[in-house]
Each structure stands twice: as C-alpha cells, then as structure tokens.
C-alpha cells in the first residue's frame, strides 16, 4: 500500500481547466463527484477554478476519480493528461 500512495502523490493533477473538462465530458455534475469522493461540491468547483488544490486523502480520491473519468470517457484533454502522467 505505501507504494501506491507514493505513486499517487508523484502524479500531477491535471490543470484546473482539464479537471472541469474531464467531468463535463463524463456528464457528471459536481455534486455527484463530490459525494463520490466525500467532499463538498464547493471544493470541486474551487479545484476546477484553480482557487485551491486538494491535499491528503482528498487529493488521492480526486486523482483516482479523474483517472477513471479519463479512462472511461475518452477526450483530448484526458488522453493528453494520461499520456503525460
């Protein structure tokens, strides 16, 4: 498990615009993504605007969710991010 944690922390999150694009491409409202990862919808919006960055367990959960979105709902932004990480 420590290796997975180290690996996840070494992967950069996509830029805020790409975060939003990934969610929009999947057609998932911010409140549903927020509920899935255990944060407030306002956190999702702040992360997508670049006002704040997720940390700790929230970052891990958000990263996993974004990776799933990029893998299951292909898009130009998602493919670029997956290939760069």
Q: Which two tokens stand for residue 38?
A: 């255990």
pLDDT the model gives residue 73: 86
Q: pLDDT, tens digit, for every residue of 7-66? A: 445 578 999 999 999 999 999 999 999 999 999 999 999 999 999 999 999 999 999 999
Q: Which two tokens stand for residue 76?
A: 């130009």
- Please name each of the domains of the chain with its CATH number: 2-84 (1.10.260.40)
- Positive or negative, the CA dihedral 37, 42, 43, 44 is positive
**pTM score above 0.75:** yes
């Amino acid at each position: 498990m420590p290796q997975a944690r180290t690996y996840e922390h070494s992967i950069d999150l996509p830029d805020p615009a790409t975060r939003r694009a990934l969610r929009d491409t999947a057609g998932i409202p911010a409140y549903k993504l927020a509920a899935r990862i255990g944060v407030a919808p306002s956190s999702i919006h702040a992360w997508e605007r670049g006002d704040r960055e997720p940390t700790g367990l929230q970052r891990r959960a958000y990263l996993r969710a974004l990776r799933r979105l990029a893998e299951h709902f292909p898009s130009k932004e998602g493919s670029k991010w997956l290939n760069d990480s």
